[in-house]
Amino acid sequence: MDFELTKEQKEIQKAAREFADKELTPELGREYDKKEEFPHELHKKAAKLGFIGCHFEESYGGQGLGILENFLILEEFCRADSTLGTALLVSTFGSDIIVMFGNDEQKQKYLPKVASGEWIASGAITEPAHGSDITSMDTTAKLDGDKYVINGGKTLISNATIADFAFVLCQTKPDAGRRGQSVLLVDNGTEGFDQTKIHGKMGIRASPSGEYSFSNVRVPKGNLVGVENMGFYHTLEFLDIGRAAVAMQAVGMAQGAFDLALKYAKERTQFGRPISDFQATQHKLADAATQIEAARLFAYKTAWYLDQGRIMPKMTCMAKNFATRMAVKVIDDCLQIFGGYGYIAEYNIERFYRDIRVTDLYEGTTEIQKNMIFRFLTK
């Protein structure tokens, strides 16, 4: 057992921190939060330095690093700014299903463009009638000659209106439930494939979400990812990485909020002394630091498992369950340290407070994580 990061991992962490501190500024975060727009320029800058998709193989435009290295980067990004960090992290969402189950042609076509920042990815699983329950899909795909014909709709899709392609979980075998689903790649611009933006999200507003509609969308048979009718199982394995990433995102955000609160507590004077002199503040910060450290170890451990090629859904569900609940609570406590100022955008902590909330909801709600953990415990 070795808890020490390697020299290279430390350098990567430091490089990501430097970039994040200078580029993922609170001012930029506030601007994009307000505009509800994706920070394209920042995304391209990060990609040029190899920070996007660094865990893709070098032959597919990545840096040949592991999930852990990718996590170290996204932790730093989310720490520096919860809004911008999330936008950058989510820019690759969906591409890991290609990494895991795609064929060489699919990897060649999509991954280098995602890693270079030229393309933005998306993954379309959720439907209006199927949120946490994805055991059957209303979006269907029927084989017609050498093409699949897709019909249906998806909602709450990250990057919907800015993505260049999507992986879409479709029902390919009607009435077969989870045993009849397939993952298909659909490029933006394909006839019958439309996107609508969802406005008014509580947080992560620089990462636009939207709806997809598919009306007789024809995609080549070659766009099938993995095995036909195994899409549900492919998606579950893909979500294993996604859940672990959300745990890491939550740790990054909690650390960012903690850093803001600690700095403020030392500066803010009340009753003639800094509020960090009061035990009520000290205990909040001590608990926060402890909880963040525990969740960080959890997230790193899941990354380590994934890098070993071990799919450990129980671990990733536990990590997400713990880290996201922890972060919601810790950021709430950090905001409390700011008093009334914490409620004002200029102090940034309110954005962390809004942005963190989604981690408790997406990639499976906390309740779903708990259902799964219990199932694994009693298996």
Partner 1 sequence: MNIIVCVKHVPETAEADIKIDSEEKSIELSGLVFDINEWDNYALEEAVLLKEKHGGTVTAITVGSEDSESTLRKCLARGSDKAIRLTDKRFEESDSYAIAKILHSVIKNLPFDLILTGVQADDVGYAMVGPILAGLLGIPHATMVKKIELSDGASKVNRELEGGLEEVVELKLPALFSIQTGINEPRYVSIMGIRKAMQKEIKVLSLGDLELNKNDVGVAGSWIKIEKIYVPPAEKQTEYIEGSPEEVATKIIEIIKSRGLI
Q: Which residue stretch of 7-15, 78-86, 249-257, 368-376 sits at the interface with partner 1 (rule: CB under 8 A)?
A: 7-15
Give the burial string for 163-199 (b: 16+ CB within 10 Å, else e).
bbbbbbbbbbeeeeebebbbbbbbebebeebebeeee
Phi then psi for residue 350, to 5 deg, are -65, -30
Rank residues 9 and 336 by Cβ distance to partner 1 and give the closer one: 9
Rank residues 192 and 274 by Cβ distance to partner 1 and give the closer one: 274
Is 5 an interacting residue with respect to partner 1 (CB under 8 A)? no
Rank residues 187 and 307 by Cβ distance to partner 1 and give the closer one: 307
Residue 99 CB burial class (10 angstroms; 0-12, 13-18, ≥19): buried
Q: H helices within the chain, ranges in order?
A: 7-23, 26-35, 40-48, 67-80, 82-90, 95-101, 104-115, 231-267, 279-307, 313-337, 349-356, 366-377
Helix (H) or strand (E) holding 134: none
Site string for partner 1, 51-90 (x = CB under 8 A): x--x--------xxx-------------------------
Angle at CA of residue 169, ends 196 and 33, nearest 5°: 40
Distance CA 164, CA 159 (A): 9
Distance CA 286, CA 357 (A): 22
Distance CA 224, CA 143 (A): 11
186 pairs with which residues across the strands? 166
Distance CA 110, CA 102 (A): 10
Residue 22 CB burial class (10 angstroms; 0-12, 13-18, ≥19): exposed
**Shortest spacing between CB 32 and partner 1, in angstroms:** 20
Tell me which residues in 11-50 interact with partner 1 (CB under 8 A). 11-12, 14-15, 18-19, 22, 48-50
Rank residues 18 and 27 by Cβ distance to partner 1 and give the closer one: 18
Tell me which residues in 293-312 interact with partner 1 (CB under 8 A). none
Rank residues 293 and 367 by Cβ distance to partner 1 and give the closer one: 293
Number of residues that bind partner 1 (CB under 8 A): 18
Among 1, 2, 7, 279, binds partner 1 (CB under 8 A): 7
Rank residues 15 and 361 by Cβ distance to partner 1 and give the closer one: 15
Gap between the terminal Cα atoms of the chain:
28
* Catalytic site includes residue 57: no
Q: What DSSP string runs through 46-90?
A: HHHTT-SSTTS-GGGTS----HHHHHHHHHHHHHH-HHHHHHHHH
HSE-up (13 A, CA, CB side) for residue 227: 7
Rank residues 7 and 379 by Cβ distance to partner 1 and give the closer one: 7
Q: What DSSP string runs through 250-261?
A: HHHHHHHHHHHH
Rank residues 19 and 193 by Cβ distance to partner 1 and give the closer one: 19
Distance CA 48, CA 52 (A): 8
Residue 261 neighbours by CB distance under 10 Å: 26
Matching residue, tokens 């479709």? 170
Q: Please pick, among 69, 127, 350, 363, the residue that the annotation labels catalytic.
A: 363
What residues act catalytically? 363
Residues of this chain that interact with partner 1 (CB under 8 A) are 7-8, 10-12, 14-15, 18-19, 22, 48-51, 54, 63-65
